[in-house]
Amino acid sequence: MSLRLKLLLLGLATLVLPFAGCQYAREMEAALREGEQQALATMARTLAASLQGRTDLLYRAAHDPGPELAGAPDLQPILLASAPFLDGNADEWPRTSLAWRTVTHGEASLRMIGGVHERTLYLLLEVHDKVVVFDAPQSDPLDSSGFGDRVWLAFDDPAGSAHQVFIGSTGPGPVRARRIELREYGRRVAVQEPRIEGAWGLMPGGYRIELRIPLSMLGLRFGVLVDDRDTVGAEPESFGTLDRQSLAPQARLIAAAPELNAYLAQFMQPGLRITVVNVSGAPLSLLDQLGAPLDSAAERGILSRLYRRVLERRGDRRYVDANARIDDLTHAHAIGSLQVVQTADRWLTLRDHALTKLLNFTLLTSAGAVLLMFSFAGWLAWRLARLRRASETALTREGLVTTFPETNSGDELGDVARSFATLLARLDEYTSYLRTLAGKLAHEIRTPLTIVRSSLENLESEATTAAARTYAARAREGSDRLHAILLAMGAATRVEEAIGAAERTRFDLTALLASAVESYRIAFPQRVFVAELPGEAVELSGAPDLILQMLDKLIDNAVDFSPEAGRITVRLRLEPAAAVVEVDNPGPTLPPEIRSRLFESLWQSRPGSDSRPHFGLGLYIVRLIAHYHGGSAAASDLPDGSGARFSVRLPR
């Protein structure tokens, strides 16, 4: 794991601060929720207490039914969020059974529901009748012979006067109510009631009538009567909530007072919903501002919404509510109940305001700490990379580079850099000593060796015994070998000096190799030399004398390890960016353990012994010359395992 990643992980540990802030916000939210719940309950009890006995605020007419209407089915209109479109369809009406009233008569039935919106009563009547009969066209609405199915409405006005209207139609479509007026000489006339209008529509198994009636026309009592006829002009079968004989209503219309909404509106504020229902659960008033936006900068911020998403847990309540009972002070019984619902956004806004400041501060602090640590880690990694690159490039063709970066730093990395610089300086001294050791040894040994050789020459000129002559010959042989070693050591030193002083020129490598192979055929007649060269000139920039010396070492090595009459191949292979010189010779393969050391200085792997000294510098010189030309040297076995291949890659 890299140093930067470790410090980054360490910096991420500072994220525990935002986590602690979230936990604190949750505890604060719980306390706010509890306090808001208590405040909401107090508000509900206060509002309910203000409505105790205020039936005038709850209902638009007297709540007590009176003895003549006791036990009659009530029509309790629901509150409508918007006015329904009068088209004779029930698409905009709720289908819950609690809001509907049903009257049955044999196989026929009447289902009705009412709703109030802005001081208007909307009524939906569904009559289930197998045979729907409309009025005859152009018929007198008072001529019973032209009558079809009709619906009668009877109601009291706010002053207590009774009224009756009827709805009939010649077909589906818009309808208006009509009332019967008594004129001079007892003549009755059907007059349209323009304030009551609606639509007549068909449905499977019957028909549907949708009506709109101003609440200002209605009092406490309200009734519906269905005149069902099988044919036009037939005797009707009547059923509903009207007394057929007197067309008197037999049911109550219990609608909320319009003043109730105005009274409750003074307590409204964004995020609240106040609902008042009667004892049967029908709503009398509904004021809803749960979705009203709260004026909060934190609520509008992206971070606030993100924090809320993090803090919210599954199952969290989004609303709190409180209920209170409303009693009739006169009759000591319940006449309704009040419910106050508040959105959680109220305390969430308070929480988000504090949490936004807290988390913004902790997140900025954490981000700054992580950024600072990551920058520091990058700086350390850059310094370590400099040390690594310096250590990797310390060894060059010219020797060791003793200058090291970061040596002037006063921290631990500076100590490491100074230690490396000291080590490299000592290694450079030792390497310089080893580099000049061969020349020094050659210089020091040359004088004693000359004395030994001259003494042997003088001894050979003297008359000696046969045994002494044998010992003198062995000493002569040893001195010759020492002399050869001195020459080899001097050659290595001269090669290094020649490489350092060589001048580069442009030359043809193909012609150079062809000439060299011809010379090898004359110098080593016991071997067969084959040249595989391209038919074109291959120009290189370098020192041709060094290339020939390099090739001499490779051929000398091939001759030593190949048998007599062995085939030695000199090949020049071209690549897009390099020229590869290969020397193949038959003989033993290269053991795996020595391949990495073949081109080292003062190391040789020739088995046995012969008359010629081998100082282990030939392949080392090959590597030096290849590196001087920007190339490399390598050794491998022949593909068929019959010998070895030495190759030198020279850039073109």
pLDDT mean across residues, the chain: 80
Q: Is residue 387 part of a domain?
A: no
**What SS3 class is residue 240?**
strand
Dist. CA 349–CA 622, nearest whole Å:
82
Whether residue 390 is contained in a domain is answered as: no
Answer whether residue 564 shows pLDDT above 70: yes
Strand bridging mode 399-400 / 395-396:
antiparallel
Q: Which of 307, 334, 359 is the last residue of a domain?
A: 359
pLDDT of residue 65: 46
Same domain membership, residue 265 and residue 245: no
- CATH of residue 438's domain is 1.10.287
CA distances from 90 to 86, 112, 115, 171, 212 (A): 10, 11, 12, 18, 14
User: Domain check: are 410 and 454 in the same one?
Assistant: yes
Top-confidence residue, 148 or 443: 148
Percent of the residues in the chain that have a pLDDT greater than 90, as a whole number: 19
Lowest mean pLDDT among 314-318, 431-435, 559-563: 314-318
The per-residue pLDDT for range 362-408, each reduced to its tens digit, is 778 777 877 887 788 788 888 888 888 888 777 776 667 777 787 78
Record the pTM.
0.47
Average pLDDT over residues 117-144: 85
Is residue 334 assigned to a domain? yes
Bridge partners (DSSP) listed for residue 342 = 272, 320
> Which residues pair with residue 287 across a beta bridge?
274
**Shared domain check, 227 and 192:** yes
Confidence bin at 409 (pLDDT 50/70/90): confident
Q: Which of 219, 249, 279 is the last residue of a domain?
A: 249
Q: How far is CA 650 from the centre of its chain?
A: 52
Q: How confident is the model at residue 310 (pLDDT cuts 50, 70, 90)?
A: low
According to DSSP, residue 641 is labeled S
Q: Are 241 and 163 members of one domain?
A: yes
Instruction: Give CA–CA dist 6/20, Å, rounded.
Output: 23
Q: State whether 125 and 225 are in the same domain.
A: yes
Asked if residues 547 and 583 have their Cβ atoms less than 8 Å apart, the reply is no
Q: Provide the 3-class DSSP secondary structure of residue 483.
A: helix
**Model pLDDT for residues 71-98, shown as the tens digit of each residue:** 556 788 888 878 999 999 988 888 776 6
Q: Which pLDDT score, from 0 to 100, does residue 34 have?
A: 81
Backbone angles phi and psi of 636, in degrees to 5: -155, 170
Burial class of residue 283 in the structure, from the number of CB atoms within 10 Å of its CB (0-12 exposed, 13-18 middle, 19+ buried): middle
Q: Do 494 and 511 reside in the same domain of the chain?
A: no
pLDDT band at 509 (very low <50, low <70, confident <90, very high): very high
User: Residue 322 pLDDT more than 50?
Assistant: yes
- Per-range mean pLDDT, top range of 89-93, 198-202, 266-270: 198-202
Nearest to 76 by CA among 259, 214, 282: 282
Residue that finishes a domain, picked among 193, 227, 249: 249
Residue 622 dihedral angles phi and psi, to the nearest 5°: -60, -45
**pLDDT of amino acid 252:** 80
Domain-embedded: residue 209: yes
Task: Give the pLDDT band of residue 444 (cuts 50, 70, 90).
Answer: confident
Q: Based on the fold, state whether residues 179 and 167 are members of the same structural domain.
A: yes
Compute and round to an integer the Cα radius of gyration of the chain.
Answer: 58
User: Mean per-residue pLDDT for 322-347?
Assistant: 76
SS (H, E, C) 349-381: HHHHHHHHHHHHHHHHHHHHHHHHHHHHHHHHH
CA 271 to chain centre: 34
DSSP string, 125-175: EEEE-SS--PPPTT--TT-GGG---EEEEEEE-TTS-EEEEEE--SSSEEE
pLDDT digits (tens, 9 = 90+) for 46-65: 888 888 877 777 777 665 54
Q: Determine, yes or no, domain membership for 367.
A: no
Of 148-152, 354-358, 534-538, the poorest mean pLDDT is in 354-358
**Average pLDDT rounded to a whole number, residues 332-357:** 73
- Between 173 and 16, residue with greater pLDDT: 173
- Is 60 exceeded by the pLDDT of residue 315? no
Rounded to an integer, what distance in angstroms lies between the CA atom of residue 514 and that of residue 167? 126
Alpha-carbon gap, residue 401 to 398, rounded angstroms: 9
Label residue 266 left, alpha or beta by phi (over 0 means left) and psi (-120 to 50 means alpha).
Answer: alpha
Give domain status of residue 368, yes or no.
Answer: no
pLDDT grade for 66, boundaries at 50, 70 and 90? very low
Give residue 159's pLDDT.
Answer: 85
Range of the domain at 220: 67-249
